[in-house]
A and B are shown apart, each in its own frame.
Chain A
Amino acid sequence: MRCRRSLFRRRSVVTDRASVALPAPDVLVDVEVASDRAYRLSGTSVLVALGVVVAVGLLSATSGAAGLPVDDVVGAVLARIPLVDIDSSLSARQESILFQIRLPRMVLGMLVGASLGMAGAAYQGVFRNPLADPYLLGVSAGAGFGAVLALGFGLDLGWGPFDALPTAAFVGSLLAVAASAVIARGTASSPATLLLGGVAMAALFSAAQTYALQQLNETLAREVLSWLFGQLNTSGWRQVWILGPYVVVCGGVLFAHRRHLDVLRVGDDEARALGLNPARSRLVVIVAASLVTAAAVSVSGLIAFVGLVVPHIIRLLVSHSYRVIVPLSALAGAAFLAFVDVGARTLVAPSELPVGVITALVGAPFFAFVLWRGNATTI
């Protein structure tokens, strides 16, 4: 049955069939309260998540070689807000460290974390697979291949404000995802077919990447590898401006479709009988999640574990409903990656650890703990 509703049609007016007749509203209140708890994104959980993000932000802004006290950082940030009458107490040098080095990196970390968190939640939803992560459809291998070509062979896809490497990685990612969808004959096919298409493409692009890497000299190869490990090296706010729009637009699309992910949980057939067009929903969600993942990968390389684990942590701690998982995974992913990046910057200062290594080092034990504490069978 084709879904015959137009894209933005309003909810149909309640008809006068017998089963529609509603009791007086006051009779319903108690049942509603009980049932509402089940499918609402609670304000408390959002506030808690936002609180964690802010706390991690403060920690990140104040950690580093140059000591910046918390109150001065808060003052300096508030002073930049128009109409707020506070004078920054930081010196010019401290200001430039804060606004040109620490904050861009912190914000970039949050954006990348949010991208991976929500993309992971979306992939787990459309594939109905707890092992799905944002790199599932060959995004990582495609990006790696693009990066090798750009760094090692001077393939210059850069245009305007876009550097060659991120652009090549972005194009490579999307090529791999598109190829996965094409060999699975579109997103209308079953999730399992798409997943296998992704496996095939990932293998193909990985092989191409490995071969290309082998042709490079050692210096270039090392540069490519360190990019692949994942890092949040920033030069000012540029990467933030590149990734930001993707996070806003794709995040909005995923947020708007989070209800569809709940419907898809009963399987394509039942979803269709319930009036959803599963192929269309899956297409929209996969495109949005892949775009934001590709954009994140292009500015930060491959950061493991965030997209896989963050949605599961939300699931175990808060709710199994994607209405809750999608937005909270974005917030929790942001907090998690910014937090881990503090470690990456400070643990072996003055040098740095690749953040992708620490996400796995910190994330795996924490995930194991949550899994052990919670009821593992409810994943």
Chain B
Amino acid sequence: MTTSTEVAPDPAALVCRGLRVAFRGREVLGGIDVDLAAGEWLGLIGPNGAGKSTLLRAIVGLVDHDGTVALADGRTPAATDVALVPQAPVLPLGMTVAEYVLLGRTAHMGWLARESRADRSIVATTLRRLDLDRFAGHQVASLSGGEAQRVVVARALAQQAPLLLLDEPTSALDLGHQTAVLELVDDLRRSDGLAIVSAMHDLTTAARFADRLALINMGRMVAEGPPDVVLRADRLSQIYTTPLTVRTIDHELVVLPAPRTAIQGQRPTSNQSAPRNEATYERDELQRVAPSPEVAPGW
């Protein structure tokens, strides 16, 4: 695991300061700061409803927000600067893979211009690069989950933005395809110097791929730093309101639910009915959950 905080002098790719988002008076993000260097992968983790997606959407400019979102040169990011891989992308019926990837060129075309030869070349190159060229004429709606996700990534790459945002890029994929998509993104990061922000549910995967993790809960940044600093069993158990353990297997962090035998009788009985996020901090009984002996060093 490389932590680019140690390789520091990369130029900043993204700077967010005091990012606040409210929907009808309800605060969804309460003042978040994000710093991202070029070529760095920041993983956003946190329970459902924590505000991870909203943070991504605020960076792209899809939701109204207070605070600043700026690139290194101070500009607000445009579609040529930041590409989003949405959580549930719309795959229109009858649209072919080539057409879909061409949508990524939208920001590079004038208001009334058509795609140029260069745009078509970039689509063709991107398809070839992601090993999708044989699907060029296939319909996106007919692809399997893993192929479809690769096509969505291809569209984002065709956007040629130095900043790539991924919203739960692998939640609909099986283990093999999850790894394949994330390895692909990681390769692209290394080859193209992309800066990446991804919202991820799987903490183990997040720890494996991201340089830094940002743990968000109820719209606030709870912890931020290298995975081994952020992923601590006590903190995670509290925020996810279920006992979790963090172990090191082959030098990689693995986050697991605590073994059922170890927590018999200690799992809060009201867990199913209580809204998970709101009840987080009142849940004293969780404090009593003993950390298992094999937890990661530094615990």
Contacts and interface: CB of A to CB of B under 8 A. Distances in A.
Interface of A: 1-2, 4-12, 14-15, 17-20, 22-23, 25, 28, 31-32, 34-39, 256-257, 259, 262-263, 265-267, 269-276, 315, 319-321, 377-379
User: Which of A4, A9, A10, A19 has the most B CB atoms < 10 Å from its CB?
Assistant: A19
B89 A270 contact: yes
A364 B162 CA distance: 51
Nearest to A255: B112
A4 B112 contact: no
A1 B77 contact: yes
A12 B108 contact: yes
B104 A270 contact: no
B122 A22 contact: yes
Contact of A14 (B84, B86, B118): B118
Contact of A273 (B62, B128, B139): B62
B187 to A, nearest CB: 12
Contacts of B128: 31
A273 B108 CA distance: 13
A265 B112 contact: no
Among B78, B84, B111, B139, residue most surrounded by chain A Cβ atoms (within 10 Å): B111
A259 B160 contact: no
A28 B124 contact: yes
Given A35-B136, A274-B104, A379-B93, 17 more contacts: A8-B110, A9-B111, A11-B108, A11-B110, A17-B193, A22-B125, A36-B98, A38-B98, A265-B90, A265-B92, A267-B90, A269-B62, A272-B60, A273-B83, A274-B103, A274-B107, A378-B139
Contacts of A23: 125
A31 B114 CA distance: 19
Nearest to B120: A32
- The winner among A1, A17, A257 for most chain B CB atoms within 10 A is A1
A149 B124 CA distance: 58
Closest 9 CB pairs of A and B: A1-B61, A275-B107, A320-B94, A275-B79, A35-B98, A38-B96, A31-B124, A265-B92, A38-B98
B122 A11 contact: no
B7 interface: no
B262 interface: no
B99 interface: yes
Interface residues of B, number: 59
Contacts of B123: 35
B92 A320 contact: yes
A5 B106 CA distance: 12
Contacts of B93: 320, 377-379
A378 to B, nearest CB: 5
A19 B194 CA distance: 10
Contact of B127 (A8, A35, A276, A315): A35
Contacts of B249: none
A263 B106 contact: yes
B90 A8 contact: no
A257 B157 CA distance: 24
Contacts of A15: 160
A266 B61 CA distance: 17
B94 A315 contact: yes
Contacts of A38: 96-99, 136-137
Contacts of A265: 90, 92, 95
Contacts of B124: 28, 31-32, 35
B204 interface: no
Contacts of A319: 94
Contacts of B104: 274
Contacts of A36: 98, 120
A275 B133 contact: no
A130 to B, nearest CB: 10
Contacts of A378: 93-94, 139
A111 to B, nearest CB: 24
